[in-house]
Amino acid sequence: MLNSLLIANRGEIARRVIRTAKQLDIRTIAVYSDADAKLPYVREADEAVCIGAAPATESYLNQLKILEAARKTGAQAIHPGYGFLSENAGFADAVNAAGLIWVGAPASSIRAMGLKDAAKKLMAASGVPVTPGYWGDDQSPQRLQKEADAIGYPVLIKAVAGGGGKGMRRVEAATDFVAALESCQREAANSFGDARVLLEKYVSSPRHIEVQVFADRHGNAVHLFERDCSVQRRHQKVIEEAPAPGMDAKTRAALCDAAVRAAKAVNYEGAGTIEFIADASAGLRADRIWFMEMNTRLQVEHPVTEMITGLDLVEWQLRVASGEKLPLSQDQITMSGHALEARLYAENTVAGFLPSTGPLKHFRLPQHVRLDTGVEEGSEITSFYDPMIAKIITHAPTRSEAAAKLAQACSQVEIWPVKTNADFLTRTLKNADFLSGHVDTGFIAAHLGQLVPSDVPSKSVLDAAAFEMTRQGQVRDPASPWTQLMGFRLNADAASTVHLQYNDKIHAVEASGATAWPTYTKRDITLVFESGAAWAFTAPQFKVGEGTAAGNGTIQAPMPGHIIAVAVKTGDTVRKGQAVVTLEAMKMEHTLSAPFAARVAELKVEKGAKVSEGAVLVRLEKVES
């Protein structure tokens, strides 16, 4: 067994490898960038080395720095995790040349599977079913058009060196082919430095099914059953599960046997995944499932395989790299129950799934499920790396039970101020079509309207916020005009009406003594968590006097922030209630309005300016309306 291991990766997977290595009494060495110095994996390793600045090209992709860190710390082996350099054949060669052990696929296997066209030719020659198509050397537009016509439309054009959805075009008719080809070739050349393409039959109702394989240097190769990764958004996996729903024993046997043949065809060693595409329009059938590509590394979704087999795949990797035989033979590997994994991302689903960055000031993950995460409360999500916060994994005797457990777990996520897709995951896992197993790679796009949460707080959320703010005394600010309107009514007595501000809208809520969701107060912000979504409320921010200004017409910043909009200029005449400036603070917008009809006497800020609490923004001179 290895005695020391450097993990050439970060975050969740580094932490995962460290956990297993410690169980095997292997000394662990972490590498980290400046941005990751305070992440948990850095302190959990036996030793840690800073290898550069935050950009991956200066740290996690810098082969020389990683090899130097291994030399200085006396590491015996390097585990690349996934992503970064995990499928870089040149790096695998460099590790071996430095006298170190590479915990991964042989460089020759990585190269054999690195180009889609060469991999398909090799698989076809080995008896592995491949998607009908063309992957020949003749790349002339005339030959490609002829082959596409023969395959039949719709057809897919795919970059030979592509990945992640780049360099891919779906063509519906022959008349569209040339333009789509040229576009695909340009993108492939720009993204991968290789303009070559292949053609594939477009599969209707496609499902992404992959098989976990393992091999050792003694000629043994096995499979650990299949996973279904069909629930994707823009070719990125969101929810994975094992086994694949609707898979019968006969189809499974054919699929898994093909995967083992594929691994043997490239003299594979270690953990790998053979990815297939299935035409599920008439259910899963062995004659309608085809080889797509091989990932020559451990996969992000490996935990679902671990859950149904009871095996530790990282331990298997380390044993194989140590020269041992596979721990089990094929007939000794069994599966039990069903497992599901949801990828919790730092992203704003309401705003088109834009990445969300910032500190994790409030961070609570569910209990009683498996969690693979690389962060903790106080960690910061940066723009430099993948926005995945955690993987949430459940296991149960049946798929429906595992899905219910995972939906419950996702609904218990409490993260703020970074936005997450927890609510989106909860909705997906409760969707009737998902629960019935009717999934394919177009599932999210087809159900998007049902899955993306609303940006308007529900009544139960407003009730919870009102209760918490009343309990904390936040609505009793003597400077607020709301507490001074003794005769004000809104379907309730003044004393029982609470005013809450969410973004730029004020809600009048009848306070009650019940709260349905977890609530917290952080300084002047009240947080309510509902089904994984975070809602942040403040009391309406006003200064003494009418509206948002003092009696002399001075509009001040109610809190620190920056100006994102200025709606007036000096000399303008404004009406009572007209928006003057908009302040963004804590990722919330606050519109400050004129308290009376006035002329803008002095404008003291401009768009983009940072302001402190109490800063004078605008001075108004009252005019007769």
Q: Provide the annotated active-site residues.
A: 297
Cα angle, residue 370 at apex, residues 365 and 373 outer, rounded to 5°: 55
Could you give the CA distance from residue 107 to residue 245 in angstroms, rounded to a whole number? 34
13 — phi, psi (to 5°)? -70, -35
Q: In angstroms, rounded to a whole number, what is the distance separating the alpha carbons of residues 509 and 492?
A: 9
Q: Give how far Cα 232 sits from Cα of 52, 206, 279, Å.
A: 33, 11, 16
Q: Where are the alpha helices (DSSP H) in 273-412?
A: 302-309, 313-321, 399-411
* Structure-token pair, residue 475: 């609505």
CA 371 to chain centroid:
15
**Distance, C-alpha 478 to centroid of its chain:** 44
Is there a contact between 268 and 108 (Cβ–Cβ < 8 Å)? no
**Spatial distance between the Cα atoms of 304 and 283, rounded to a whole number of angstroms:** 23
Look at residues 126, 178, 138 and name the one whose alpha carbon lies nearest to residue 157: 178
Quick one: which of 310, 308, 485, 297 has its CA closest to 402?
A: 308
Residue 332: partners with Cβ closer than 8 Å, 6 or more residues away:
none
DSSP assignment of 548-613 equals TB-TTSEEE-SSSEEEEEE---TT-EE-TT-EEEEEEETTEEEEEE-SSSEEEEEE---TT-EE-T
Report the 10 Å Cβ neighbour count for 338.
22
Pick from 397, 406, 431, 434: nearest CA to 344: 406
